[in-house]
Structure 1
């Protein structure tokens, strides 16, 4: 009997340990075939500055899911609200200078595509605006210099007459008239400064997009520099990254719902372990320049090779 217990106790302990860590052991020694188990995802950071609701974003995600799931014939992704455990794919909506640049160009009526024609068009507008800015800045600097000279002369006269107990009526009236002129100049300079600052914002927005286009299109051109405070250099609409068990998708920029759905579908493709393909119209092409929300043959071939879609 003692011998039986000596055998049973280790077996029971081994069974308990095996049961407790069954998921890890199964994954380690009996991995599932690719795309067998749906990828669970949840919303992580959601920046309201995009001006869209979580419902709007989740609906776009469902559309992006369907792009992959429809040809596969079963669920590849599943939304798990409020689940932010380490093994859940987190999808973040992050508003920064990239979306600000896109919004500014949209406000200016400039629609940018990921192609050389858009780059050339934007370069022309940038050159024109940079020339306007230079002229406005020269005018502003000259007016500031004139204002400072007149202000200095005015203040000296005020000090002179104050030291003598006050100015006679004629001189006093002249000082009051000069003060009115100076106030008007200061107001005009403030308005001009606001215009110049708006130009700087527009120029820097163009710089961000020009540098992004030059990078993504592999153009051999010099990098454009921002005016005033510098901004980040990288420009990606979205990115999928893995760090240990941590998996996340960050969405930074989109100009329309269609672009949002495509960038989400692209990053979900990376979450499926798909690489880029060479078809410019494909969801998994390195640039978001297609105009369809359907998989191309190149996408389907990649999905078939990895997931076994027939």
Structure 2
């Protein structure tokens, strides 16, 4: 074959934004400890949920229920409840950061789809390549048989040159001629098949190389658009007088949303940031085990201190 795969798949470099929870509070914090959440449960309501987030109120309520259980099980007290007129408004605010996150996810999906295309065509190429090699070997073996028969015929003709051949020799000549004729037909057919496979394989190679170029181009564009670190708030608890709200600005998946909600609920309960990077109340989303979110000792200690336990 004339063509070869000459492009290499690049490694997709996903950007790592600096995801911070925010400082946790808005302008005022003066009466944060006026009523302890351990004395009277904090109530919240599902308020403004931007429709551009791919989540329903029912799904959001379920995640918040998990967040409630996370905090309440730590001290075995009722701390926060959903209520139609709850004092804390829970808002999902579609921010520029979320717009960027969605664009990054969609672009990443395009790269994944292209990778799948590459894998599919690569498998097809390998199958065609194998068939081509087998066909090439078949032509080679048939050609060897053909040349062997021609050699045998010429050798017999040389031996009986100028002599009157016997009926047995004549029959041998006819047999060799028939075999040579059959091999000529077979060889022609096999060469045609080989030529067709060569064209198919080269076309598939070209298709594969083009897909790899497209894949590499997508990765280059992805890295250009999304690889630069960004620092932004994912959520914030704000309190202005009697008005309280948990605003969520950005999340990539359900686990991230739960982590951000758990953090901001902690602020709503009156907790500050803690130093342990694995803690829910740490100011950065980095080392928390979001797949199995749990309070750390620092989180629990902060909550017990807030509840005077």
TM-score by length of 1: 0.49
The structure whose Rg is larger is 2
Relative contact order, higher structure (CA 8 A, sep 6+) = 2
Give the TM-score normalised by structure 2: 0.49
